[in-house]
Amino acid sequence: MKKGYPLFVLLAVVLFSVAPVMVAQAPYEATMGLVQKIFYYHVPSAMVMFLSAFICGIASAVYLFKARPEADRIAAAAAELTVVFGLIVLVTGPLWARKAWGVWWQWDARLTSTLLMWMIFVAYLLVRRFGGSGAEKLGAAMAVFGMANVPFVYVSVNIWRTIHPTTRVVPTLSPGMRGPFWFCAIAFMLLFGLLLAVRARLEQRRADVEHLYLLADEE
């Protein structure tokens, strides 16, 4: 990973430079027009948020049952990324909704469940930051609970009445929209992978510092 990292960074820069051009060239949607183009960043951010929540939950479960510190470090990194990409989803969504629905926010199943899921991961970070000793285990349990929310958030648009578009939108995209969408999705996935690696490295270095403090105290 270390050797390929600069190459992946370069690739991410290229993808994110080309993405706006592809989005600009994508056709307008019939009813929403220009504002629908928020979709090309909003949905990939949501996909990354779900993926990140899953990684955080699985790593936390591994930490809870196997007590492996590296799993905890990955979970902490993924939780932070869930919050970052969740924030993007929760801000770009209302900007789109203001034009498309006429309101910034609607307390429907998808929006409310997404907000709740995001708040669980914010709570995870707060618990880890201010929870004192044992906060890692408590946080890990919260992350598993947060991960369990993901499928409900995803299918909420198909189960309950909501004005949010359903999950059938992406598989049925027209060819003109499909290309830019998957291009942006790949760019976001790549960026997520890179950020996760860097953030996990930061956690590793922090653990090294703690170890050094212990060594300094012993002597």
Q: Which is nearer to other proteins, 148 or 209 (CB)?
A: 209
Say how many C-beta atoms besides its own lie within 10 A of residue 43's C-beta: 20
Q: Is 209 in the site for other proteins (CB under 8 A)?
A: yes
- Type of residue found at 116: L
Binding mask 40-59 for other proteins (x = CB under 8 A): -xx--x--------------
Tokens of 61: 């479960």
Q: Is the CB of residue 171 less than 8 Å from the CB of residue 53?
A: no
- Helices 5-25 and 39-66, axial angle in degrees (round to 10): 150
Following CA atoms 133, 138, 139, 144 in sequence, which dihedral angle do they give, to the nearest 10 degrees? 160
- Residue 70 to residues 1, 74, 80, 92, Cα–Cα distance (Å): 16, 6, 16, 33
Binding mask 144-183 for other proteins (x = CB under 8 A): ----------------------------------------
- Of 60-68, 142-150, 151-159, 208-216: span binding other proteins (CB under 8 A): 208-216
Q: Which is nearer to other proteins, 25 or 158 (CB)?
A: 25
**Contact positions toward other proteins, by CB under 8 A?**
20, 33-35, 37-38, 41-42, 45, 84, 87-88, 91-92, 95-96, 98-99, 191, 195, 198-199, 201-202, 205-206, 208-209, 212-213, 215-216, 219
